[in-house]
Amino acid sequence: MKFGRNLYLVVTGIVAFSLFIGGLAQWQSSGTGEGWCFAGYLQRWGSCVLVCYVVAAVGVILLGWYWFSLAGKITSIANYIRQDKLDCIKPGTNAVINTLTEGVKERFDRYIRHITELENQIKDLQIQIQLSQRREKNTEAIIYSIRDAVIVIDEFDKLLMANEAAGTLFGFDFRTSRHKLISELIDADRHKFVELLSHSRQTGGRATRQEIEFFQEGKPRTFDCIISRVYDQAERICGVVAAMHDVTREKEISQMKNDFVSHVSHELKTPLASIMAYSEMLSDGEADDEQTRKEFYSVIQNQAKRLNRLIEDILNVSRIESGLIKINKVPVSLTILIEEQLQMIKSYAEEKNIEIIGQKPIVFDQVYADKDMISQVIVNLLSNAIKYTRPGGSVRIKTEVDEIAGLARVSITDTGVGIPENELGHLFEKFYRVEANKNVAKGTGLGLNLVKQILEKVHNGRVFVESKVGVGSTFGFELPLATREPVEAMLR
C-alpha cells in the first residue's frame, strides 16, 4: 500500500516538475520576444527533462505493473468469493489484499451467521406453519364431522370456514366460498341470520343464543343458533363462530308431548268431572228417590270404569312406545282368537241388533304373537265396528292366508257410518277422533293407536283401513305366518 502510494507521489512529482520547467522555458522565451523553440528548450533543459521523462516512464511502468497485479489478485479473490471458496484465499505480502481479504472474510462470516440464524428462524416458522396447518386441518376435520351447521367468519364478515351441513343449509359450496362476504353467500330470505351474525360481532359478551326459523324444501325448520365471538390476544373481536342445531324434530316432539298431556288431562278430567259431580249431588241429598240414587251410582261406576279403561290404554300405548312391555310370543291361531273375542262381544252386538257374519275356520292360520295383545287388537276392531254400525246392520269377519307372501290377513267389514277420505290418514293418531262420528259413539281416540302399535311395532305386521261414508268401513291387519317367522322371534 505504502509502496504504491510513494511510487505514485514520486512519478507525479517528476511529471509536474518537467511540466514546470517546460512552462518556465516558454515564459522566458516569450519575455525576450523570441518565439518558442524546441531546440532552444532542449538546449537549456534537455538533460534534466530527459532524466525526468525516463524516471516518469519507469514510474508509470512500475505503477501499471502494480495496479495490474493488484487487479489480478482482487479478481482472483472475487472468483473465490463467487465460487464460495473463501478458504482458498491465503494471506499474502500485499497489505491492501490482506485488508480486503480480512474485510471480506469478516463480512462473509457475519453474513453466514446471519443466514444461519435466518435458516433456523425459517425452520422454526416452517414447523409452526406445519403445526398450524395440522391444527387447521384437525379443526376442519372436527367442524366437517359435526352434523350441525357451523360457520366461521372474520371481523369483516367474510367466510373463513364452514362445514357441509352449513353449505347445504345456505346453498353454497363451502370449499370455494372462502373469503367471500357472508351476505353474498346467504340468500336474501335468510338475511335475518346474517344480521344476527353481524349484530353478535358488534355487541359485547361471549355468546348469543337464539332460535331462527328457515324454510327448507318448502317446510319451516327451526334452528337453535349459538353464536360465539372469537377474540384475539389483544381482546379484540376477530371473528364469529355460529353453530346451528336443527331442533325442528325436538320441537315437534315437545309439541306432541304437550298435546298428549293436554289430551290425556282432558280425557281423564271428563269422566272424573262426572264422578265428582254425581258424588257431590248424592252427598248433598240432591237425589230424591231410590231410583235417582241408583242412577247416580250407576253413572259413577260407569265413569270410573271409563277412567280405568282410559288409564289402561294410555299405559299400554306408553309401555309399547317405550319398549317396556313384556311380550310373550307363542304360536296362536287367529281364527281361535277371533272366536274367543266374539263370544265376549256377542251380547253387545245382539243388544244393538247387529248381525255378526263369521267365516269357517281355515286349516292353518297360526302366527307367532302375544295372545293378549292380538286379542286386544281383535276386540278393539270388533267393538269399533259394532259401535259405529246402526241397528240392523252387519259386521263380517274374514280370515285369509296368503302362503306365497307368508301372511295371515284378518278383515272386519261393517255397514256403519263410514269415515271421510280426508280423515283416513289420521285415524291411527293418538286421541284422533272422526269429527262427524263423535256423536255416534264415545271413545278415547286411543284404541286404534294401540292397535297400530301392537301390530306394527310389536309384531312386524300391518294395519289397513278402507272406508266409504254411508256405506261402511273395513279395518284389518296382516301378520307373518308362524312358518315364516324365525324361531328366534319366539324367544324374544
Partner 1 sequence: MSGKKVLVVDDEVHIIHVVAIKLRNNGYEVVTADNGAEAFEAALKENPDIVVTDFQMPVMSGLELIEKLRQCDQTRDIPVIMLTARSFAISKEQQESLRIAGCLSKPFSPKELLENIEDILYQKELMVDN
Shortest Cβ distance from residue 474 to partner 1 (Å)?
A: 25
Q: Which string of DSSP letters, residue by residue, matches 330-382?
A: EEEEHHHHHHHHHHHHHHHHHHTT-EEE--PPPS--EEEEEHHHHHHHHHHHH
Shortest Cβ distance from residue 480 to partner 1 (Å)?
A: 39
Instruction: List the beta bridge partners of residue 243.
Output: 150, 226
Shortest Cβ distance from residue 136 to partner 1 (Å)?
A: 52
Which residue, 280 or 340, has its beta carbon nearer to partner 1? 280
Shortest Cβ distance from residue 267 to partner 1 (Å)?
A: 8
* Amino acid making up residue 293: R
Shortest Cβ distance from residue 411 to partner 1 (Å)?
A: 29
Instruction: List the beta bridge partners of residue 165.
Output: none
Q: Which residues of 363-390 are buried (b: 16+ CB within 10 A; e: fewer)?
A: eebbbbbbeebbbbbbbbbbbbbbbbbe
Which residue, 63 or 299, has its beta carbon nearer to partner 1? 299
State whether residue 373 is helix, strand or coil.
helix
- Taking the C-alpha atoms of residue 488 and residue 492, their distance in angstroms, rounded to an integer, is 6
Shortest Cβ distance from residue 435 to partner 1 (Å)?
A: 6
Which residue, 257 or 438, has its beta carbon nearer to partner 1? 438
Which residue, 180 or 266, has its beta carbon nearer to partner 1? 266
**In degrees to the nearest 10, what's the CA dihedral of 48, 49, 54, 57?**
150
Q: What is the Cα 203 distance to its own chain's centre?
A: 25
- CA 82, 83, 84, 89 dihedral sign is negative
Which residue, 176 or 439, has its beta carbon nearer to partner 1? 439
Kindly state the cell numbers that stand for 2: 505504502
Which residue, 189 or 435, has its beta carbon nearer to partner 1? 435
CB contact at 8 A, 251 and 259? no
Assign 3-state DSSP to the chain and report helix, strand, coil percentages, each to 5.
60, 20, 25
- Taking the C-alpha atoms of residue 330 and residue 319, their distance in angstroms, rounded to an integer, is 20
Shortest Cβ distance from residue 286 to partner 1 (Å)?
A: 6
**Which residues contact partner 1 (rule: CB under 8 A)?**
262, 265-266, 269-270, 272-278, 280-281, 284, 286-287, 292, 299, 303, 435, 438-439
Which residue, 189 or 288, has its beta carbon nearer to partner 1? 288
Shortest Cβ distance from residue 419 to partner 1 (Å)?
A: 15
Q: Between 95-145 and 38-82, two packed helices, what is the crossing angle to 10 degrees? A: 30
